[in-house]
Amino acid sequence: MRHNKYKAFGSLCLMTLLGTGLAHAETNDNSIPRLESTSCAAQALEDLNASCYTFYGQENWDDPNGNTIELPIGVIDPETENEADAESDPVVFFPGGPGYSILGNTDYIEQLRKDIGNRSLVVFDPRGFKHAIPSLECPGYAAVSPYHNIIHTPALTSSLDPMERMKHITKEVADCYQKLEDEGIEVAQYTESATSRDVEEIRNLLNYDNVNIFGSSTGSGTALSYVRYYPDSVRAAVLGWPWYTSLRNRSPLDEFYTLKRRFTDVLAMCVEDSEACREQIPTWFLAVDRARRALDNKPYIAQVESEGEQKTLYFDGAAFLDTLYLMLPQYYAELPRIVSQVPEGDYSSLYGFFMIDEYNPVTEAPNYAMGAFLAQACNDMGTNRPTPQDSIAAIQREPAIIGFEPIWLCAWWGGDGDVPPEHNDIVTAETPALAIHGQMDPCCGTRWSDELADTMPNLQAIEMQALGHSPVNDCRSTVINEFLGDPIAQVDTSCQNEVPLDDWQLK
């Protein structure tokens, strides 16, 4: 039954008409789980005419601890004059980050609506996110996180000693965990597997027989967890620029070498496209390392204004790699010039490369619940979390991992997540799936799909030329619409090069 019909009749009428055929229904009592009509959690949902609800569930589904969670939900029906023209298969969107709320982002939601076509869209904040109760807030971590203060975080630029920089972030991770425990939160329950249970209860309460699911970044890992635990509830899965749990939770050095390979692949594209590029960087496969060593030997140092005083920022080879990691879609065409100049001692490009003019001493992450970011990243590792000794050894070997995806810092998270033993196994499923990658996305390239395809035979993948993480172009919406229309059919990927590559910038 379609959700808009569910709204029109109302829960009491539905229960009368359907009897025991409705497993759960919207109620106003104190039962758990339940769904109640409420005001929208963000103005964007109001502006988009969403039907808004609050979901009430157990913090610990397997062993209720007296704590409950409250999750905001918005259901946005398609804009169609004839209800019969709307598709009957709704799409549930899993946000990424982890911890990033899209509920207040009108443009983001409108893009999702364009992607999925004439279908109902269900958006929500997962447990721990900004508009959920409890929201796992850790503002101290926002001040040091390389993910949210981008280039100028103390973890990257405060000194030339990686071990000294490491201390800025590890203390805040430990403090965040303790803060959440002191608030009475059972931190181990904020996992992908628990969110999957939440979504299954929500699906039942909305009276959907099954759903399409659409994940963004780490949300694709959560979406795949839902496939793992509730395969019969999923019609099809769209895995947007995905980080899958089973591949994401691995050695930090493995992550680092994957990223370095992407940088070298960019230079390989340049020398293949341009004879001038080949002449300029004949040893292109060593060029990134040579630039990095030059900055380790002679760091780039910048003076910035910070609260009325001069502050010194230090950019070494690790900062160089971290910046490429975060900014590759903007910088890939400049990379041949930079790796040629820097080893020769020409640092003229680095003021812009390190975005000195954009320095801001005030750190903000307004759409993030930073504790949720850490909780999901670390809890989903289960017993695979590193020890401090593991992470210190990794940083001593490769300082650049300080700025990468935060698996290394989970050594300072206070406990393991409550996840099933099989949670980090590769997902095995017949579910039709479409994975979308950006060619200039260092973290989440086609490697992920290549490995997952071994156990998900109905997985298709597309790589969008010249685009990075969360690519937005017409092709994205075209292929998602086509895939959702017939998830088993082969998707036409001929539009994947619609965004041209930028001209390579040489000397």
pLDDT of residue 258: 82
Query: CA–CA separation, 334 vs 355, rounded Å?
Result: 14
Whether residue 432 is preceded by a cis peptide bond, meaning omega within 30 degrees of 0, is: no
| Closest C-alpha to 60, from 176, 184, 173 | 184
pLDDT at 20: 31
* Distance of alpha carbon 280 from the chain centroid: 36
Q: Distance between CA atoms of 437 and 77, rounded to whole angstroms? A: 27
Beta bridge partners of 135: 128
pLDDT at position 247, please? 58
pLDDT at 146: 66
Residue positions counted in the chain: 507
pLDDT tens for the chain, 507 residues: list them: 334 333 332 333 333 333 333 333 444 568 999 999 999 999 999 999 999 999 999 999 999 999 999 999 999 999 875 565 567 899 999 999 889 999 999 999 999 999 999 999 999 999 999 999 999 999 888 878 866 656 788 878 889 998 998 888 899 999 999 999 999 999 999 999 999 999 999 999 999 999 999 999 999 999 999 999 999 999 999 999 998 766 566 677 777 888 889 999 999 999 999 999 999 999 999 999 999 999 999 999 999 988 788 999 999 999 999 899 889 999 999 999 999 999 999 999 999 999 999 888 877 778 899 999 999 999 999 998 999 999 999 999 988 888 776 788 999 999 999 999 889 888 999 999 999 999 999 888 898 889 899 999 999 999 999 999 999 999 999 999 999 999 999 999 999 999 999 999 998
Distance (Å, whole) CA 405 – CA 221:
14
H/E/C letters for each residue in 52-101?
EEEEEEECCCCCCCCCEEEEEEEEECCCCCCHHHCCCCCEEEECCCCCEC
Question: Edge-to-edge strand order for the sheet containing 459-464?
Answer: 34-37, 51-58, 68-76, 121-124, 91-94, 211-216, 234-240, 433-438, 459-464
396: nearest Cα among 324, 343, 319, 318: 318
The reported pLDDT for the residue numbered 23 is 32
Tokens of 367: 């759409």
CA 187 → CA 29, 179, 371, 489, distances in Å? 27, 10, 10, 42
CA distance 97 to 396: 27
| 218-229 vs 370-379: helix crossing angle, rounded to 10 | 50
Tokens 């869209």: give the residue: 121
Number of Cβ within 10 Å of residue 273's Cβ equals 13
- For every residue of 313-348, DSSP letters joined together read EEE-HHHHHHHHHHHHHHHGGGHHHHHHHGGGT--T
Distance between CA atoms of residues 330 and 266, nearest Å: 12
Distance CA 193, CA 228 (A): 9
DSSP E strand boundaries for 387-456: 433-438
CB 128 within 8 A of CB 134: yes
How confident is the model at residue 3, as a pLDDT?
42
